Amino acid sequence: MASFEDFKLNKQLLNAIAEAGYEIPTEIQQKAITPLLAGQDVMGIAQTGTGKTAAFVLPLLMKLKYAQGQDPRALILSPTRELAMQIEENIRMFSRYLDLRTVLLYGGLGPKVQKEQLAKGCDIIVATPGRFLDLYLEGEINTKSLKFLVMDEADKMMDMGFIGKIHRILEVVPRKRQNLLFSATMSELVRKIAGDFLAFPTVIEVTEQATPAQTVTQTLYEVPNLRTKLNLLQYLLLDHESFHRIIVFCKTKAVADNVFHYLERKYGDEHVRVIHANKGQNTRINSINAFKEGNIRILVATDVAARGLDVSNVSHVFNFDVPIVIEDYVHRIGRTGRAFNSGDAITFCNPAEAYYIDKIEKLIRQEIPKKDIPVNVFIETTGFEERQAIAREIDNQKKKDDPDFKGAFHEKKYAIKAASRPRSSTKKKAGVKNKKGRS
């Protein structure tokens, strides 16, 4: 497929595509747009950063064409507000010359403004499942005119506990509709649930599931503790030219805040921002926009930003913590190396996180290349509390794999008891038994 013109899209769409700087369709776009335009149900599986959003937005806009009536004709569901905002931004970009109305619905904000927008009439709703259901149950949304239902990042939707809400939404939308389901990973659970959602779908798997993009170079550092992770991060960031636009992923809000404050002291608050679930919606939006516009160098984030954060030319992604939900590794590193650009993903792994690295390598079917910590990085001694926490976590992992495992502490205690037991008493008991046996 040489260009977007081969899809026979209308002139308004082609102009918007050209102005957005899109020249060659990606593989998922080449394979998905034609069946979607033909009205087929589609299940698309592709690496993150390969243009899945445009793959379903372009045919959707082509089929809707122009504003019509008051009620929505297309519903796009997203697991997070960030991803919902990203999809809505793509729709606005591609529908620049089309007379189509889009409403964005998500929680974290009062529903008053969203209700007002719905009352004016819309053609497309982009929503998180919870907020959509809330407004539907309040009578603010009429679903009778819906002809298209899109579920983006379906696996994350299931991981986040939206299964019940998805089933409720499927009960209130018309049965006769076109369904689109897209994701970078697709578990067996999602495949089963997709059976309720898709009717004889065209399955498009442009790469093996959970395969990182070829444009991303991966590196793994085995780091003993938190302080050494900070030292290594600071050392690598000394190279301002190479590390010019960076996302640092942390597994908890507390760690994200600690890393942010550390980097803020080093580089100043004008170069670093943090986003996680405890940050207000406006703060998160402003931080993402500042990062996109190149006004800040470093964005620290929890996995709330792992999907839907579409920023061009991200030079490096750091996994400051290894993700516990192993599929999130693919989504995190997919924030770099997007749209034919190259990028680097660097992971820091302490002894307790090696368990998840092993599972990630099995998932992505490749070994992550290891590097030694540079000699100029000071390796801190692991403190007592952190050492205990790591030991407990390793015990929990062993228990998860072997329910009979009693724990390292239990084994140590048992070994001490056994060693301290007098040998003579054991022999004496054996002797008594022998005497009884002879009598």
DSSP string, 90-120: HHHHHTTTS---EEEE-SSS-SHHHHHHHHT
- Structure confidence at residue 439 (pLDDT): 39
On the question of pLDDT at 306 being above 60, the answer is no
Q: Model confidence at 418, in pLDDT bands (50, 70, 90)?
A: low
On the question of pLDDT at 76 being above 70, the answer is yes
Range scoring the smallest mean pLDDT among 96-105, 186-195, 310-319? 186-195
On the question of pLDDT at 155 being above 60, the answer is yes
Residue type, 303: D
238: Cβ contacts below 8 Å, ≥ 6 apart? none
Range scoring the smallest mean pLDDT among 23-27, 60-64, 203-207, 312-316? 203-207
On the question of pLDDT at 412 being above 70, the answer is no
In percent, the amount of the chain with pLDDT more than 90 equals 52
On the question of pLDDT at 438 being above 50, the answer is no
The DSSP output letter for 246 is E
pLDDT tens digits, 224-252: 999 999 999 999 999 999 999 999 999 99
pLDDT tens digits, 249-269: 999 999 999 999 999 999 988
Residue type, 194: A
- Structure confidence at residue 189 (pLDDT): 64
Cα distances from 72 to residues 92, 101, 117, 142, 234, in angstroms, run 16, 9, 12, 7, 49
Range scoring the smallest mean pLDDT among 178-182, 184-188, 429-433? 429-433
- Structure confidence at residue 333 (pLDDT): 87
Highest mean pLDDT, choosing among 28-42, 295-309, 409-423: 28-42
Cα distances from 186 to residues 84, 104, 340, 363, in angstroms, run 20, 26, 23, 12
- Structure confidence at residue 207 (pLDDT): 61
Report the alpha-carbon distance of residue 151 to residue 213 in Å, rounded. Answer: 22
Tell me the β-bridge partners of 371.
Answer: 221
**Mean of the pLDDT values across residues 128-138?**
95
On the question of pLDDT at 191 being above 80, the answer is no
Decide whether 4-205 matches 216-382 in CATH topology: yes
Give the phi and the psi of residue 18 in degrees, each rounded to 5.
Answer: -65, -40
Checking DSSP bridges between strand 216-222 and strand 343-349, what pairing results, if any? Answer: parallel
Residue type, 176: K
- CATH classification for the domain delimited by 4-205, as one of 3.20.20.120, 3.40.50.300, 3.40.190.170, 3.30.365.10: 3.40.50.300
In percent, the amount of the chain with pLDDT more than 70 equals 86
On the question of pLDDT at 435 being above 50, the answer is no
Report the alpha-carbon distance of residue 10 to residue 351 in Å, rounded. Answer: 55
- Structure confidence at residue 404 (pLDDT): 78
Domain-wise residue ranges, the chain: 4-205, 216-382
- Structure confidence at residue 132 (pLDDT): 96
Q: Do the beta carbons of residue 102 and residue 124 sit within 8 Å?
A: yes
Kindly report the average pLDDT of the chain as a whole number.
85
pLDDT tens digits, 327-378: 788 888 888 877 667 889 999 999 999 999 999 999 888 999 999 999 999 9
Element (H, E) at 316: strand 316-319
Report the alpha-carbon distance of residue 226 to residue 321 in Å, rounded. Answer: 9
Q: Model confidence at 162, in pLDDT bands (50, 70, 90)?
A: confident
pLDDT tens digits, 116-128: 999 999 999 999 9
Q: Model confidence at 434, in pLDDT bands (50, 70, 90)?
A: very low
On the question of pLDDT at 430 being above 50, the answer is no
Tokens of 256: 């994200």
Q: Model confidence at 143, in pLDDT bands (50, 70, 90)?
A: very high
Report the alpha-carbon distance of residue 319 to residue 300 in Å, rounded. Answer: 10
- Which CATH fold would you assign to the domain 216-382? Rossmann fold (3.40.50)
Q: Model confidence at 283, in pLDDT bands (50, 70, 90)?
A: confident
